[in-house]
Structure 1
Amino acid sequence: MSLAVRFQQVSRHYDAVRAVDQIDLAIAEGEFFSMLGPSGSGKTTSLRLIAGFEQPSSGSIQIFGREAAGLPPNLRDVNTVFQDYALFPHMSVLDNVAYGLMIKGVARAERHRRAEAMLEMVKLGQYGSRRPSALSGGQRQRVALARALILQPRVLLLDEPLGALDLKLREQMQTELKALQRKLGITFIYVTHDQGEALSMSDRVAVFNKGRIEQIAAPQELYTRPATAFVADFVGTSNVFDAAWAASLTGQQQAFAVRPERIRPAQDGQDGDGIRLPTRLLDVQYLGAVSRYELEAGPERIISMVLPNDDAAATLALTPGQALTVWLPAQAMHALAG
């Protein structure tokens, strides 16, 4: 496997603040790789280290096997798409896309030919003469993509590029970004705080927390087998049973997590490989296709159960205050580290 980017014990400190703290990371060539985490987790700093906008305090960063320390951004064979698009308002869409080629000294006719081809690729072939202000948010995002890709980088860095778009447009752009990455076959490194974006587009996801990586995994593994309580809670929603609570239920001081959709009302006489847990219903939240049930399993022990809004759920007629015993299947109980 050829590596596009490799971090070896990389740290970035700002005085006493460890924005990135001894990270090891290997991203394959042609991979769609997402860096996911809350604000201040180190994901954007890591992206800036790859781009060359920041330099590591310690450790090694390699891009296609070449040590990147000290290399300026223009010598790194990477390009970046920012959330605010960074388009020039006084230039046409075509000239915005062709700007990088102009800086490199490419002749006007050639750079316009390549810019027109790039606009066709992002489905904006008829918009070259317009100004960015005449475009929608999604169209401006495509222009920013075209401008970054026209220089044919081997790695494209995307810093929360969909954050300013509404939900439906974000979902549409997620589909388009993944299709574009597959078509081009280049490495995409995508920073986001939105777990839905990361799960829907990525080959693998790194979950960042407090300057460190909690877990790197494919989306399905990340969701079904979170390594830590932080990952279980941040990626989707999980009911986390800490070691003390777990010991009272299983006899073992091993923390575990159960996704709300895996919990079900216990059937009469249900036994076997799992746990019957007495609870009291606190609240029901209707969410369209499903409803979320907030359950109290003891003092300061609140868990969630999600059920589809089908005929079977309707027959339960659950109301707040009602006692309800739920079933935690053993195969849904995932052990957590730390």
Structure 2
Amino acid sequence: MAPPPPPLMDDLVGEILLRLPPEEPANLFRATLVCKPWFRILSDPAFRRRYRLFHRTPPMLGIFQNLRHDNTIPRFVPTAATVSPCSPPSLDCWFWWALDCRHGRVLIYSIGPTNLFVWDPITGDQQHLPVPAYAYAYCTAAVLCTAARCDHLDCRGNPFLVVFVGTGDRDGVTWASSFLSETGAWSTPTTVDLSASTTVDVDSFIDTRPSILNGDALYFTLERGKSILKYDLGERDLSVIDAPVCEQTGIIMTAEDGGLGFAGTEGNSLHLWSWLAGDDSVVGWVLCRVIKLETLLPIHNPYVPPQAIGFAEGTDTIFLDTDVAVFTLELKSGKTRVWETGGYYSFDFVVIPFMSFCTPDLAMGRLLLP
């Protein structure tokens, strides 16, 4: 019999393990059980840094689903079969919503009592924030890492910023206040009077939908996606942008050119716009692409068109709700996937993608199946 082949060198094993797909993090766990040399490689902090740099974009591990007409906690739907639903945080409240996910953190808004929490689903860490002491009838918020020169591949332990946006009850005023984890205090609110605008409905309000971080600004939707609210992170200034006109409620997204984008459906077609600003300060929306969805998605009832309901920031993935199911669509490849059967077709159905690297040193069995 031929002698067994010599064992692979650690450097070669490391190069192989480096290529395990991050969207199937349980594979990393299984690899640690193969033998002690593999465990040693995978437990090395240098390997974990190389792993994040090699893959660059944190994978989408799942989505949090808010059904705002139900007084229940959001449901976590995992991306892969090897990812199990994460344990919800232990909060002393009646119920809570997920408002935003970014840089490995989830921003929670609780009712009874009203509070804010920044939560890491993988490690279980959470931090309580008081709600700003300013009146509002509608609200949303965003969370992001503020560490200098951070590549946002592993933001755990870094300082963070929360931007809370509220709209008064029919007074036309929307305000924003920011909270820095380093100072532990809310800033003086910045306001914009929507009733003073000729293009925004006097009864316009902030939507409880995830924001988009683009450049040095956060973007939120107003009045069920009819307008867009821009919050300049440097100047702490608020301004309003008219959204493109489309048949169904649209969503903000990152455009294919990296700038601010918008997606909405017209019949059974998905329309993608990009916001352009010229050197002479001429700004406006440009229709960049039209995707015919009937060739990509099953549509049983032609009178119930698909609707764009969400976007995974940092990717090209859009969530679409149909009368059949909720789908994801990768814009570059055209690849679709059934996310959940049974369409919701409701603006009250909010999907918030959770994106983060998950390695064996972090999860400790909270998120992943063994």
TM-score by length of 1: 0.28
TM-score by length of 2: 0.26
Bigger radius of gyration, 1 or 2? 1
More strand by share: 2
More helix by share: 1
